[in-house]
Amino acid sequence: MAEAERIIGTPDTPDATGGGKERPDSEGTPPGEPGNGPAAAPEASGTGEPEATAGRPRGRRRIAVLFAVAAFAYALDLISKMIVVAKLEHHPPIEIVGDWLKFEAIRNAGAAFGFGEAFTVIFTMIAAAVIVVIARLARKLYSLPWAIALGLLLGGALGNLTDRIFRAPGVLEGAVVDFIAPKHFAVFNLADSAIVCGGILIVLLSFRGLDPDGTVHKD
C-alpha cells in the first residue's frame, strides 16, 4: 500500500495535486527522480536545449541580426550620399528611366520626402529618440522578422541623423542629402527607404499578431 501511494501520490501531497494544476509530464514520478522535484533536469525547449538556456542564445542571435541589418542600411546610405555629394551635387540630374526616375542631388532640411522643413531640430530629436527606443527594445527581442524591421528603422534613422548632426548649416539643423527623384513624387534617399520598409514590415507583423519577444497573440 505504501509503495502504491509512493508511485501514484495521494490527494494530501503536493506531488499528487501539483498545487491544483495538472502536470502530465510529472505524473506518477516521485521527487528526486527525472521529471519531478528539485532534482529534475530543466525542461527542454523545442530545439532540444534546456529552456532556461535556449532563449539567451536565440536572443543574442536576433540582436546580432538587428545590428547587422542596421549597419548594412547605414553603410549603404552613407556611401551613396558621399558619392552623390562628390559626383552629382551642382551637376545636372542623371536620368535612370527617362523622366520617370532621376538621380538629382537635393539638400532637404525637413523630414522624410521633404515634409516639415521648419521643424528640423524636432525631427532630429525624434530620430535620436527612435534610436534609443530601438536599442532598449533589443534586449527583449526574440523574433527574426522584428529584428530585420527594427534594423531597417535603426539604420535609416542613423543615416539621416548623421546628416542632421554633421552637415550644414549646423549641428542638429543639418540638411539631409536626397537624390532619388521619381516623377511626380518627392525626392528621397536610401535611409528614407529603409525607414519606410521597416515601418511597413512592423505593420504587417502587428496585423499577424507577432510580438518582438516572439510570442503570437490573437485579438
Q: pLDDT digits over 55-89, tens only?
A: 567 778 999 999 999 999 999 999 999 999 999 99
Q: Give the mean model confidence (pLDDT) for residues 85-96.
A: 93
Sole residue written with cell 509503495: 3
Lowest-confidence range among 3-12, 54-63, 91-100? Answer: 3-12
Coil, strand or helix: which one is 178? strand
DSSP string, 116-132: -GGGHHHHHHHHHHHHH
> Tell me: the pLDDT tens digits for 21-35?
333 343 444 444 444
Residues designated catalytic: 178, 192
DSSP string, 10-47: -TTSHHHHGGGS--TTTTT--TTSTTSSTTSPPPB-TT
> Using an 8 Å Cβ cutoff, are 88 and 105 in contact?
yes
Q: Give the mean model confidence (pLDDT) for residues 154-171.
A: 91
Q: What is the pLDDT of residue 174?
A: 87
Q: In whole angstroms, give the CA distance from residue 117 to residue 127.
A: 15
